[in-house]
Amino acid sequence: MDEGLTIAEVAESTGLTAHTLRYYERAGLLDPPPRGMNGHRRYGRRDLDRIHLLTRLRSTGMPIAELRRYVELIRDGDATAGERRQVMIDHRAKVEEQIKQLTEDLALIDYKISIYTEVEEKHARVLSRDGSDEEEVA
Amino acid sequence: MDEGLTIAEVAESTGLTAHTLRYYERAGLLDPPPRGMNGHRRYGRRDLDRIHLLTRLRSTGMPIAELRRYVELIRDGDATAGERRQVMIDHRAKVEEQIKQLTEDLALIDYKISIYTEVEEKHARVLSRDGSDEEEVA
DNA sequence: GCTTGACTTAGAGCGCACTCCAAGCGAAAG
DNA sequence: CTTTCGCTTGGAGTGCGCTCTAAGTCAAGC
């Protein structure tokens, strides 16, 4: 029957490249999937779920090494649920901190936009009045 | 009078290292500051403001190359205020997208935490029914 | 039978952002 | 005077996360 998706299909549907999928496998983030009779990888639902989780954790800044550690806990079964939960709780705090920081940075960017809007207007006035202009900090 | 902060003081107060400050200067992100009679850099208020802005933009994911472009606009004076404003507006959208994505990821993390909490509880029940209590529940 | 195309592997290479090294200099302390 | 300290420089090195290359296998289509 030879079920499952090819590496190209998984790449397409996850946004990762085939190269990256093989790299994740080598790095211990993905279990080696079964192969078709041609020796090609065949990914199943489990693999896709794992890849999805990995990409989300990566995009929140979790490094490969910690993902590997987490995946090893998964392989050790239910007994490590507590540890995995702790990994997630710790990571959650980091993500919240990122959001907090980004929100502050957004305010700074808005401030900058407002300053530039002002400067632009002043500049336009100065130009139309044919006067001289000033300097600016940053 | 030799005013201003030394590179070590600026490093201390900004969280960057002296190495990174020199690197930013080489990379065109910081204007070469004036030197004291010993040839050492002397940073002023302007420099600190710029460094602060740079670190905030860096932490929101703006690459060095784009920061350099932005700094060049600053050097070109008020006439580029519109362009700088546009840089900020474009970047703002990216930061908002990051926050949106992180918020979604936070929900996934919370979901994972809830699953692990469940698994843990089930596991604990199984263990207590067994009478074997060698597992710790952190 | 030959070509094409998607896959396989081990291993090399790359881009980014630092991060550090080696050698040297001027001022101050011992 | 000599050592120590904080800085100076050009340039080399590092760590991370991919990203790509080269050479090979296999199945299908012309």
Q: Identify which of B57, B79, B113 has the shortest CB distance to residue A85.
A: B113
All residue ranges of chain B with pLDDT < 70 are 1-2, 130-138
Strand D contact nucleotides, protein CB < 7 Å: 6-9, 16-21, 25-27
Question: Angle, to 10 degrees, between the axis of helix B45-59 and the axis of helix B7-14?
Answer: 40
pTM, two decimal places: 0.88
Cβ atoms of A30 and A21 closer than 8 Å = yes
pLDDT at A37: 87
Q: Which fold has domain A1-61?
A: Multidrug-efflux Transporter Regulator; Chain: A; Domain 2 (1.10.1660)
Are A32 and A25 contacting, i.e. CB atoms less than 8 angstroms apart? yes
> Is A128's pLDDT higher than 80?
no
Nearest residue to A84 via CA among A96, A72, A98, A94: A72
Rg (alpha carbons) of chain B, rounded to whole number: 25
Chain A residues closer than 8 Å to B81 by CB:
116, 119-120, 123, 136
pLDDT value for B120: 76
**Which of A87, A88, A101, A110 is the best substitution to test chain B (most B C-beta atoms within 10 A)?**
A88
Supply the pLDDT for residue A2.
67
